[in-house]
Amino acid sequence: MVEIARSLDTKKTVLAHEVWKNSLLDNSIYRGKRLFRCLDDHCGAQLTLANWRVEEPIRAAYFKLSSREPEKQHKFNCQMEYGTDDEKNQLLENSTGVTMMDADQQTVADQIENTIQITQAIRPNKSETDKFIINKDSSALSVTEQDKIYKNYRTSSNIKGLTKSTYQSLMPVMLWWKDHPEGILEKINWPAIDREGQERATSFITPLKFNNPFLLNNIIINLNEQKLSEHEYNKVKIFYGEFHGSSEESSNHTLFSTLKNPSVLFKIRNNDLKNVVGIKRLRQAIKQNKYIELAFCGHFFFSKKDNHLVFVPRTPAIADWLAILGK
Ligand SMILES: [Zn+2]
């Protein structure tokens, strides 16, 4: 059982998940479920896609041997089947440019269900929220309606084999992370602005742009568990933790702080906040003087002038960089 094979139709290396998705289309590029070969060209065993054209598979798609006959098994020296982890990784890297990290074959299947890709969409205006979640001002919705949105997201994201999606705003990414704490980010292409509000090709900040698969956890700084250290400054990350919000009546801003990392402070204009899903929960928490789980994406720099850390959000669109998560 493998997640990756060579297609006889395209001669290319393909993921089982991609073939499965394509097999559901009328004009599928793959002509049949048996037209696949073991990735080790010296072996070339014939493989069949399980779940071919199954609309709601119980588990993620994978390739299995097409036949039980002894002469149709993997060759004794097949590196995909019998190779060491290093050999398999080398084979995968040569044919795809993708390494499966330290995973063994058993866990590759879980990883395929367990991956997302993140890209940036073009927004017509900065207050527009993510269509995936909601397309109107979320403060107009009741708490029950907002709960329904969370639930809908969770249901759709949990369908096995369908989690390889593209996200642009922080909320679905964080909800996905909560469901898949060991989730793998296949690639991410999130631009970021600097403190002048410019997105520059050569900037001293490091945006979230990678093409290699890695744990989503690696770009999330859990402020409940670790102190923000100097080597995280000027790098765009997702910061997560329990925050306390206090309204500054005079400036129409809300100030956020966290007990565990007192140096981490940031302000958001109340006018911007009203466009975020979960704003009612947030307002409730502020009123009751309670902590609330938040995530925000951007970078911190140390301002020598003011002698404190300053937060710069990743983009001007608040749904891209702020997620109100919990109670
Ligand atoms: Zn083989």
Pick the more confident residue, 103 or 4. Answer: 4
Pick the more confident residue, 220 or 18. Answer: 220
Q: How far, in Å, from the CA of 73 to the mean position of ligand 1?
A: 7
Average pLDDT of the chain is 77
pLDDT digits (tens, 9 = 90+) for 240-277: 999 999 987 778 999 999 988 888 988 898 888 887 77
Q: How far apart are the first and last CA of the chain?
A: 42
Q: Locate tokens 């990392």: which residue?
A: 261
Q: How far, in Å, from the CA of 97 to the mean position of ligand 1?
A: 19
Domain-located, residue 125: yes
127 and 227 share one domain: yes
pLDDT value at position 152?
A: 56
Of 43-52, 92-101, 207-216, 294-303, give the lowest mean pLDDT range: 92-101
Q: How far, in Å, from the CA of 83 to the mean position of ligand 1?
A: 10
Calculate mean pLDDT across residues 162-177. 68
16 and 132 share one domain: no
pLDDT digits (tens, 9 = 90+) for 83-95: 887 787 777 777 6
171 and 36 share one domain: no
- The residues with which 268 forms a beta bridge, in sequence order, are 254
Q: What are the strands, taking DSSP E only, across 74-233? A: 115-119, 166-167, 184-190, 208-210, 214-215, 220-222
Give CA–CA dist 239/219, Å, rounded.
8
Encoded tokens for 257: 């702080």
Question: Is the pLDDT assigned to residue 138 strictly greater than 60?
Answer: no
Domain-located, residue 228: yes
Long-range contacts of range 18-25, CB-CB < 8 Å, 24 or more positions apart? 19/49, 19/52, 19/61, 20/49, 20/51, 20/52, 20/54, 20/57, 20/60, 20/61, 20/161, 23/49, 23/52, 23/53, 24/53, 24/55
136 and 276 share one domain: yes
41 and 89 share one domain: yes
Q: How far, in Å, from the CA of 114 to the mean position of ligand 1?
A: 25
pLDDT value at position 36?
A: 92
pLDDT value at position 128?
A: 42
Domain-located, residue 106: no
CB 60 within 8 A of CB 17: yes
pLDDT value at position 49?
A: 94
pLDDT value at position 124?
A: 46
Domain-located, residue 113: no
Question: Is the pLDDT assigned to residue 134 strictly greater than 50?
Answer: no
Q: How many domains does the chain have?
A: 2
Nearest of 180, 150, 146 to residue 165 by alpha carbon: 180
Domain-located, residue 111: no
Q: How far, in Å, from the CA of 8 to the mean position of ligand 1?
A: 15
Q: How far, in Å, from the CA of 184 to the mean position of ligand 1?
A: 26
Instruction: Tell whether pTM > 0.75.
Output: no
Question: Is the pLDDT assigned to residue 46 strictly greater than 90?
Answer: yes
Calculate mean pLDDT across residues 272-292. 86
What is the 3 state secondary structure string of 222-290? ECCCCCCCHHHCCECEEEEEEEEEEEEHHHCEEEEECCCCCCCEEEEEHHHHCCCCCHHHHHHHHHCCC
Q: How far, in Å, from the CA of 125 to the mean position of ligand 1?
A: 51
Q: How far, in Å, from the CA of 264 to the mean position of ligand 1?
A: 52
Calculate mean pLDDT across residues 200-228. 82
Q: How far, in Å, from the CA of 81 to the mean position of ligand 1?
A: 6
Neighbours of ion ligand 1 (CB under 5 A): 38, 40, 43, 45, 74, 78, 80-81
Give CA–CA dist 250/326, Å, rounded.
27
91 and 143 share one domain: no
Nearest of 206, 239, 236, 234 to residue 220 by alpha carbon: 239
Calculate mean pLDDT across residues 24-37. 87
pLDDT value at position 12?
A: 81
124 and 95 share one domain: no
pLDDT value at position 223?
A: 93
pLDDT digits (tens, 9 = 90+) for 293-303: 999 999 999 88
Q: How far, in Å, from the CA of 109 to the mean position of ligand 1?
A: 17
Encoded tokens for 253: 């801003």
Beta strand 208-210 with 184-190 is antiparallel
Question: Is the pLDDT assigned to residue 111 strictly greater than 60?
Answer: no
Calculate mean pLDDT across residues 199-206. 74
Calculate mean pLDDT across residues 130-158. 47
320 and 196 share one domain: yes
Domain-located, residue 109: no
Task: Tell me the DSSP string of 78-107.
Answer: -HHHHS-HHHHHHHHHHHHS---TT--HHH
pLDDT value at position 151?
A: 56
Residue 301, helix vs strand vs coil: strand
pLDDT value at position 144?
A: 60
Calculate mean pLDDT across residues 121-137. 41
Calculate mean pLDDT across residues 71-87. 85
Domain range for 276: 119-324
